[in-house]
Amino acid sequence: MSYTGPDFDPPQQRRPRRGPLTVALAALVPGALLGWLVYEAVGGGPDGKDRTASPAPVPRSATVSPATPAASPGDDAKASASPSARPGGTGPLKGKVVVVDPGHNPGNFRHTAEINRQVDIGTNRKECDTTGTSTNDGYTEAEFTLDVAHRLRTLLERQGATVKLTRDGDSPAWGPCVDERARIGNTARADAAISIHADGSADGNRGFHVILPGSVHAGAADTRPIVGPSHDLGVRIAGNFLRETGEPPSNYLGDGTGFVTRTDLGGLNLSTVPKVFIECGNMRDSKDAALLTSGAWRQRAAQGISEGIVSFLRES
């Protein structure tokens, strides 16, 4: 997802640019480890490292200030969402529902008229979806997000969660639209939802950031009930993502906090369940692109996101 153009809210309670997320986590994690009970092992994927236990979550009391398209179905396929859902097994998250939203769709490149259709996001109207970005070598954001989503689904299912994807390998040729992506999470009554993305900024801009929903009460949108729990979810995901991947907080958004609050994203505005976006890195930066195209790194990214979600759900 690119940040050229759209407005977004500045991070709340800005911190200095010395990477406060990193400093805060360095102080919090050792203490949290002492009180954390090792729970059911979470294994790595085919390209990732095996883990025998999940690291400690960021404590709920922690205060981190938020401040080559793949083959797709036939071009005539309707873009109605057909989310993939598989029931969870036994484990600490049995009974919990997580919706994972892999950003964009490989077919969007061939369906610009359809994805440019305006939809209501509460505050205003925006395009149904966008093409997303890609690395300079042509590895698309849509391909990246689906790969991480599959890895994340496997990890969460091993914890007993039921995981639903807003799109999967058998999805329609384009979309779904951002309003439909939000509805999938709402209809599922998800306990947590996350939209996975990678940015398309300038070379030299690197790092991850988590996008939190701002307070919106307009039209069909009312995020007020989910702002608090979404913030909690975002803090936990950011902390675990940082520890697992070593990817620094963004050096070009969020003043080094790793958080951005926005009120112009339909996927957040229309959500009635706790939800955040994560931009895992910048596909246009050479250093980040080398990570994003690595299967082993994508496994660590999924691991970090999973641990953040598990931490949130075990405390909720």
The tens place of each residue's pLDDT in the chain, 316 residues long, gives 754 333 333 333 333 344 445 444 444 333 333 233 222 333 333 333 333 233 333 333 333 334 333 333 233 333 334 455 666 677 899 999 999 999 999 999 999 999 999 999 999 999 999 999 999 999 999 999 999 999 999 999 999 999 999 999 877 799 999 999 999 999 999 999 999 999 999 999 999 999 999 999 999 999 999 999 999 999 999 999 999 999 999 999 999 999 999 999 999 999 999 999 999 999 999 999 999 999 999 999 999 999 999 999 998 8
Nearest to 196 by CA among 180, 211, 214, 207: 211
Structure-token pair, residue 200: 């398309």
Asked if 206 and 286 count as a contact pair (C-beta separation under 8 A), the reply is: no
Residue 72, domain member (yes or no): no
Cβ neighbourhood burial of 4 (10 Å; 0-12, 13-18, 19+): exposed
The backbone region for 224, taken as left when phi is positive above 0, alpha when psi lies in -120 to 50, beta otherwise, is: alpha
Indicate the number of domains in the chain.
1
Nearest to 141 by CA among 296, 292, 295, 301: 292
Helix (H, G, I), strand (E, B) or coil at 183: helix
Contacts of 30 (CB under 8 A, 6+ apart): none
Contacts of 182 (CB under 8 A, 6+ apart): 266, 267, 268, 269, 270, 271, 275
What CATH number is attached to the domain comprising 218? 3.40.630.40
Residue 101, domain member (yes or no): yes
> What's the whole-model pTM score?
0.77
Residue 296, domain member (yes or no): yes
Residue 284, domain member (yes or no): yes
Residue with tokens 């969402």: 81
Query: Which domain covers residue 201, as residue numbers?
Result: 20-55+82-315
Structure-token pair, residue 251: 């050096």
Q: Annotated catalytic, 307?
A: no
Residue 26, domain member (yes or no): yes
Residue 148, domain member (yes or no): yes
Residue 76, domain member (yes or no): no
Catalytic residue (choose from 143, 157, 244, 279):
279
Residue 60, domain member (yes or no): no
